[in-house]
Copies of this chain bind each other. A is one copy, B any other.
Amino acid sequence: MPAWAGLPDGWAVGETGLVPGGATRSDTRMGQHKPRSRIQRQNRETILEAALAVFSQHGFRGATLDMIAAQAGLSKPNLLYYFPSKEAIHVSLLSQLMDTWLAPLRALNPDGDPIAELRAYMRRKLELSRDYPRESRLFANEIIQGAPRIEHALATDLKALVDEKSAVIRGWSAAGRIADVDPHHLIFSIWALTQHYADFDVQIRAVLGANRDPLTEAEGFLDRLFTRLLAP
């Protein structure tokens, strides 16, 4: 199963999945690509799971269809029976990822307690780093290389969401309920600090040495950090 199964999700968005067999779906309603057979869903999931492992570790170009096929336990032509191309697999992963990735920010409740809400947001993002490091690295790889495949989503969906939540945070500042910090950079700092523990995992473990638990320690550290930063 895909790693993000059972998350505060919402599917939606892109999903560039062309149905195998080539034939156009007889379904008239647009965007209704679901009716795949049991075995099809199964294999698509297997492939995406394998592709996640390979893409996140080697990047798009570093990954080969053979690697993904081997990891999935399928033949290469069989991969291409379920996905039209290597890029389609990649895009499919990215579009699923976006939702999972933004869910924690979506959940920021304007009516909750400001500091509690922001700390909860940070903690949820840290949980993603702990539980879904491969997804984090897949995303990081894409952004570092200039986000060729998701730049548009960043400038539209992501920007809209961040702007919306920034307004909320600005309101909290104005009301004196949290310190007066730039909301955008506050959000960036949450991203940076939490994702760092997934993306730079090797480095962190190399520096800390074995028998220390980076993610657990991070929780305490970051909690203190944001508490101090946000105190009015």
Contact = CB atoms under 8 A, between A and B. Distances in A.
Contacts of A58: 61, 145
B62 A203 contact: no
A207 B158 contact: yes
Nearest to A202: B147
Contact of A181 (B137, B221, B229): B221
A10 B85 CA distance: 47
15 contacts: A59-B141, A137-B144, A141-B144, A144-B144, A147-B206, A159-B209, A163-B207, A184-B207, A188-B197, A189-B222, A191-B196, A192-B192, A192-B196, A192-B200, A228-B228
Interface residues of A, number: 54
B228 A159 contact: no
A141 B62 CA distance: 12
A154 interface: yes
A141 B200 CA distance: 10
A207 to B, nearest CB: 5
B147 A217 contact: no
A55 to B, nearest CB: 11
Most buried by B among A147, A193, A203, A224: A203
Contacts of A39: none
Given A185-B217, A189-B193, A221-B185, A199 B59 contact: no
A57 B204 CA distance: 24
A203 B154 contact: yes
B144 A200 contact: yes
Interface string A143-172: 111110001001100110011000000000
A66 interface: no
